[in-house]
Amino acid sequence: MSGSLLRRLITAAAAGAVVATSVAAAPAHAAAVPHIRDGQTVPVYSYENAVRESVYVQTSLDNDQDGVPDKVAVDITRPREAADRRLKVPVILEASPYYSCCGRGNESELKTYDANGVIAKQPLFYDNYFVPRGYAFVSADLAGTNRSTGCMDVGGREEVLSAKAVVDWLNGRAVATYGDGSPAVATGWTNGKTGMIGKSWDGSVANGVAATGVRGLETIVPISAISSWYDYQRYNGVLRSTDYPEYLHRVVNGRPAGVCDTVVKQLDEGSDDATGNYNAYWAERDFRPDASKVRASVFIAHGINDTNVTTTQFAQWWSRLDVPKKIWLAQQGHVDPFDIRRAAWVDELHRWFDRWLQGLRNGIEREPRASIETAPGTWVDEPAWPAASARSTRITLGNGDGTTGTINSRINGGSRTWSDAPDLEEATAVANPNTAVPGRVAFLSAPLTSPVRISGTPTVTLRVQVDKPTTELTARLVDYGSATRVNYLARGEGITTLATESCWGESTTADDACYRDTAENVVTSDHAILTRGWQDAAHHVSLRRVTPLQPGRWYSITVPLQATDQRLATGHVLGLIVQASDNEYSTPQSTGATIRLDLRGSSLSLPLAGRLPIAGATAPAVPTAPAPAALSPPAPKRFQPLLP
């Protein structure tokens, strides 16, 4: 036995002994709820002795078409001592497709079961930490994954309703059985108050279930989560990858070969790669229009530099919610806050669940709504997001020296013409903005005379002529200036996993609460991309239909960029880089166009706190480190083979 494992077991045993003693020694006049002291929940119940059970919740669907209602496999860990006292506890629920295929967390933990098929290990720390504090932890295999029946429909009705059925069962509105077919009833041990949590796909399910308005769902904590599957797999008509829904289905599918062929065909036909249109298939997977139905409070966490589940996902959802809400924005990419700001995150999550699931008036809803990482390791709390001081500001584009244009110029005439270079890599496109690079055009502000902040969703409007029926248009905002920044494009997306570990809750021989520590991965660089945006030109009228461009005709096309919150220091230069096709972040359907850009009819719209200086006649010189040599074949797409 390793020293590390032995230490965990000794720690767990000692913790269990303390818990047992504290429960047994409680005087007769002790509070009716022993896990609540001084306005918060405390660990008084034994995790080792917890009730562990696995049940199957029946849904109202049969999308595997076998004539039997689909069932969701649900694994439960709950405090035995609370059950013995007939105390009903709230539930923390994570519904996921990843429990057998891919794992959860930075260490990719999977579920494990004992010889009788009952849950032995739940991934992540939620059960280890919260069960001793008077919560039940419930993990549900989404339909068609792991031990559930049905078929995974990737963000669709089956997926959302299979998770909703679990909330209904916890509130006595659905039926479930144990593995032997005997009835399983939850209302004897839970008060029905449920909070859903999860990162990425798991958090997306929480958003979808909340959008049904289901009663009993009191709060959700979506981490790096999707609110519109169209915006995850399309960028305003631009495909991220062909056959993407089918790919996701294959990765998480837990059913025998052939069982879900009908659903896979529906994914292929419904997603409509041929046009990139938003249609009924995508509307079913768009939770934002139903934000008004959400009853639950919402605690969002997201990486400002997430290039997998991009920031539009949280920003569009956040702006529509009219419930108690809170948001954490980190400088990392697709990373859980547990691996960024661990102690503070666990404490905040604890207080959030205590407030909305245990009903403890701890005041968390009156505290600042937003916590934002402004630089590596530096966090600020603010009353709102976007920043209240940010104002939408229209900024002109100028001709500059004819090669490099200017931002915020008093004279904004001139034009640019360039031909699409589909294999132009991002690193090359944003480097050396004072030189001509085939396939891109660059614009620079004057050096900042005071700090500015971009907080919200920028856009760039381009007046263009295109010699083909369509083209992809790609825009990037760049901060040119030396700074120490989170290295979110590196492996780990801004974190480094260390050899040490820390423990968050109690452990058993099958399920330890100890996780590798992490540190921010930082780098000093002379420039950094602040945000990106993409638009298919033929979808400029509507995402629901293609409107081909006529050669020789001028069109005004707006490219929405991803939401952001970034600060630029005095002396730095703001850059705008525009190109056509982007083969790193998308799969262009039409390439090779020649584009003419009219600067007088083009502009940049920034949610700006502070002011940009007026540009001079020419752009400032901005030296950057040499761009990497072009790769052949092109660099792999950054989002593959990532999963949401």
Residue positions annotated with a catalytic role: 200, 306, 334
Rounded to whole angstroms, the Cα distance separating 214 from 467 reads 51
Backbone angles phi, psi at 354, to 5 degrees: -55, -40
Residue whose tokens read 């029905």: 192
Query: What is the number of other CB atoms lying within 10 angstroms of the CB of residue 38?
Result: 5
Residue showing tokens 């699931």: 357
Give me the residue label for tokens 């801004």. Answer: 494
- Hey, what are 116's tokens? 């009788």
Give the rounded distance of the alpha carbon of 199 from its chain centre.
6
Give the Å distances, CA to CA, from 233 to 161, 224, 325. 21, 15, 27
Question: Burial, 541: exposed, middle or buried (Cβ in 10 Å; 0-12, 13-18, 19+)?
Answer: exposed
On whether the CB atoms of residues 504 and 513 are closer than 8 A, the answer is yes
CB 235 within 8 A of CB 637: no
How far, CA to CA in Å, does 531 sit from each of 140, 372, 413, 642? 35, 16, 26, 20
CA proximity to 385, closest of 478, 457, 483: 457
Give CA 580 to chain center in angstroms: 27
Report the C-alpha gap between 176 and 74 in whole angstroms.
9
Q: Which residue has the tokens 């003693």?
A: 21
Task: Identify any residues that bridge with 396 across adjacent strands, giving them in sequence order.
Answer: 603
178 neighbors 58 (Cβ within 8 angstroms): no
Enter the tokens of residue 311.
Answer: 């920031």
Q: Please tell me whether residue 166 adopts helix, strand or coil conformation.
A: helix
Closest Cα to residue 577, out of 553, 547, 597?
A: 597
Structure tokens at 594: 């020649």
3-state helix, strand, coil in the chain (%, to 5): 20, 30, 45
